[in-house]
């Protein structure tokens, strides 16, 4: 614990910055002198001294020795894992690296269809077969639940050939699944457990938060240290803790995907975020949890907004990171998008995201009670001032089935494709991903057979002007398919 007081990378950069070294290295702004003046006068000049390149004092992120190595070792010790890799392109790159490290071309991986889009990139780059699990919807809360241990067990029994299981926990709503059980199910069968814990870098640092993937036994787990803890945007970490995998394979996958010119300010912020979490995390998160619980209580007093509780989520067999506020807006008669807009424009309050049913307000290590108060006051005012037409929106996943007949990688890299009218697309193999919002779960993925039911469903959505992410033109008139 004593060494956790140190921040070796930050300290090295600080002593370098103080020496105001004459720079004959990249970047070209030369300690900020050449930066646009408007930007420099806003930010101040100090941070530019941290924007350096690979030289012996700091060494390379790709083959760390010296202070980056020490900083990664401290991170690994903080999380109780064998090795931590600093990432400068977020959990996006970590997810791809996890699949590349765990699987060889032709392997298959069990994965929820509601996973972050980076999973699809990983599946394509690694050349693996996805075994999709359809997520469950809760129509009372208007949210999607990620895979439960029972669903994973069923998939493992059905697809014993799977090499790995990929889980997202917590979800965007802060809901965590039973990772202990899932780790046990995987490891009993010799399967690798990969966890996208983008929203959970803080879990390990407070006793009242749900269990984190690193404690539950994930072989690899990625965390966006920038989401709730205090790293700068893009600052994430990939944690390795496995007897089923080779750490050098993970190292090479991470290295293949990262820039050779990482931003050292981001790296230093990772070093400091770890130190802060280790030294003060419990106390700081205590305040955040209390503020969030206060907000939850106040929002649940309002007539038109509601916010589910940990108790309720526990009763459904999951756990909840209380710092996340999912605010249901359906009783206002307005959509979450509309309320998000009103909050931003009239109250200067910006939530992380919205859908038709909910707003997601993310608290972080820098949040305080006055932020929560501003949100609660704004919602209280909004429910007095605005009232929309009661809507009959229902969150549902259409019961459509299809089969994966071609590997996504082959569709993406080598198949000849063409565009056919949507009405005539049944029978072809899809060459694009189409994801209607809501519910934000892909209806088609490259390599899947287009069925008559899917065509009818897409045509119906298109006629109703429902947004379908992935469509290439304003209106969904054609579909990109594999030319047979």
Which residues lie near ligand PLP (CB under 6 A)? 90-92, 95, 116, 118, 168, 172, 196, 198, 224, 236
CB of 121 to ligand PLP, least distance (A): 11
CB of 372 to ligand PLP, least distance (A): 22
Cβ neighbours around 302 below 10 Å, total: 18
The residue to which tokens 């760390």 are assigned: 64
CB of 6 to ligand PLP, least distance (A): 25
Q: Between 168 and 326, name the residue whose CB sits nearer to ligand PLP.
A: 168
Q: Between 48 and 240, name the residue whose CB sits nearer to ligand PLP.
A: 240
CB of 362 to ligand PLP, least distance (A): 10
Q: Between 114 and 402, name the residue whose CB sits nearer to ligand PLP.
A: 114
Q: Between 216 and 376, name the residue whose CB sits nearer to ligand PLP.
A: 216
Q: Between 185 and 221, name the residue whose CB sits nearer to ligand PLP.
A: 221
Distance CA 124, CA 182 (A): 25
Distance CA 104, CA 115 (A): 20
CB of 143 within 8 A of CB of 330? no
Distance CA 101, CA 453 (A): 37
Query: Pick from 461, 483, 481: which is nearest to 402 by CA?
Result: 481
Range 128-134, long-range pairs (CB < 8 A, 24+ positions) = 128/99, 128/103, 128/163, 128/407, 128/409, 129/404, 129/407, 130/404, 130/408, 130/445, 131/155, 131/159, 131/162, 132/404, 132/445, 134/397, 134/441
CB of 463 to ligand PLP, least distance (A): 31
CB of 476 to ligand PLP, least distance (A): 25
Q: Between 87 and 455, name the residue whose CB sits nearer to ligand PLP.
A: 87
Q: Between 196 and 298, name the residue whose CB sits nearer to ligand PLP.
A: 196
CB of 63 to ligand PLP, least distance (A): 23
The residue sitting closest to ligand PLP, measured at its beta carbon, is 90
In the numeric block, which tokens belong to residue 105? 């071309």
Distance CA 306, CA 292 (A): 13
Enumerate residues 6+ apart whose C-beta is below 8 A from 253.
Answer: 96, 97, 100, 101
């Amino acid at each position: 614990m004593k060494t956790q007081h140190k921040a070796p990378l930050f300290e090295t950069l600080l002593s370098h910055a103080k020496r105001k070294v004459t720079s004959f290295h990249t970047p070209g702004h030369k300690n900020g002198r050449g930066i646009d003046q408007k930007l420099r006068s806003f930010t101040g000049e100090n941070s530019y001294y941290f924007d350096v390149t690979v030289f012996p004092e700091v060494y390379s992120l790709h083959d760390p020795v010296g202070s980056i190595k020490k900083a990664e070792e401290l991170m690994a010790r903080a999380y109780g894992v064998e090795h931590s890799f600093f990432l400068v392109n977020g959990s996006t790159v970590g997810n791809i690296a996890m699949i590349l490290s765990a699987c060889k071309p032709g392997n298959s991986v069990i994965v929820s269809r509601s996973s972050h889009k980076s999973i699809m990139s990983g599946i394509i780059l690694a050349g693996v077969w996805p075994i999709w699990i359809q997520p469950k919807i809760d129509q009372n809360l208007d949210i999607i639940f990620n895979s439960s241990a029972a669903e994973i067990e069923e998939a493992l029994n059905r697809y014993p050939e799977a090499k790995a299981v990929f889980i997202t926990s917590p979800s965007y709503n802060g809901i965590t699944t039973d990772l202990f059980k899932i780790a046990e199910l995987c490891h009993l069968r010799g399967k690798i457990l990969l966890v996208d814990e983008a929203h959970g870098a803080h879990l390990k640092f407070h006793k009242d938060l749900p269990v984190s993937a690193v404690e539950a036994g994930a072989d690899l787990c990625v965390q966006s240290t920038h989401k709730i803890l205090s790293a700068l945007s893009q600052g994430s970490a990939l944690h390795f803790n496995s007897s089923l995998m080779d750490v050098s394979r993970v190292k090479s996958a991470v290295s293949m995907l990262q820039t050779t010119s990482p931003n050292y300010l981001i790296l230093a912020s990772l070093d400091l975020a770890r130190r802060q979490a280790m030294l003060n995390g419990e106390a700081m998160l205590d305040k955040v949890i209390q503020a969030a619980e206060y907000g939850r209580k106040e929002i649940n007093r309002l007539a038109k907004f509601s916010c589910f509780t940990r108790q309720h989520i526990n009763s459904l067999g999951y756990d909840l990171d209380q710092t996340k506020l999912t605010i249901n807006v359906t009783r206002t008669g307005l959509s979450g998008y509309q309320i998000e807009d009103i909050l931003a424009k009239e109250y200067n309050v910006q939530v992380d995201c919205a859908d038709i049913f909910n707003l997601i307000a993310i608290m972080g290590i820098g949040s305080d009670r006055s932020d929560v108060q501003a949100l609660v006051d704004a919602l209280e005012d909004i429910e007095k001032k605005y009232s929309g037409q009661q809507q009959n929106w229902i969150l549902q996943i259409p019961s459509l089935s299809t089969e994966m007949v071609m590997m996504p990688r082959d569709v993406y890299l080598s198949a000849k494709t063409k565009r056919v009218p949507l009405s005539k697309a049944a029978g072809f193999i899809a060459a694009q991903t189409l994801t209607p919002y809501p519910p934000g779960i892909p209806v088609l993925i490259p390599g899947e057979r287009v069925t008559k039911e899917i065509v009818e469903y897409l045509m119906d959505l298109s006629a109703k002007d429902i947004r379908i992410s992935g469509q290439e033109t304003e209106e969904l008139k054609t579909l990109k398919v594999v030319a047979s």
